[in-house]
Amino acid sequence: GESVGLHLPTLSVQEGDNSIINCAYSNSASDYFIWYKQESGKGPQFIIDIRSNMDKRQGQRVTVLLNKTVKHLSLQIAATQPGDSAVYFCAEKGSGGSNYKLTFGKGTLLTVNP
């Protein structure tokens, strides 16, 4: 079945450093991936997405990399700020019957130290 997992449950960085959050997925048929940010006590918020026909996509201070060969996804945050402290989830969309649904990973807690 589908599964989305995280390599590291927690990540602590210094303010101003770059952060890299990793995610592994097992469904090679997944064609769309999303990163969400969840601040304490709030619902998840969309950060950035990438389709399977791309290797890289950049947003404002964030970059998502997709390696389909090893089924690996990463989120890079440049110049990490205290406001970036949150849990980050990767999610994948399957194909066919799973086309309307996202499967979420367990999440990585990012802590930014001032």
Partner 1 sequence: NAGVTQTPKFHILKIGQSMTLQCTQDMNHNYMYWYRQDPGMGLKLIYYSVGAGITDKGEVPNGYNVSRSTTEDFPLRLELAAPSQTSVYFCASSPQGAGELFFGEGSRLTVL
21 binds partner 1, rule: CB under 8 A: no
33 binds partner 1, rule: CB under 8 A: no
Q: What is the dihedral sign for C-alpha 68, 91, 2, 22?
A: positive
The nearer residue to partner 1, 54 or 79, going by C-beta atoms, is 54
Phi-psi region of 107 (alpha: psi -120 to 50; beta: other; left: phi over 0): left
Q: How far is the CB of 76 from partner 1 (least distance, A)?
A: 20
Residue among 31, 38, 4 at smallest CA distance from 106: 4
Q: Considering only 34-42, 52-60, 69-77, 78-86, which stretch makes contact with partner 1 by CB under 8 A?
A: 34-42
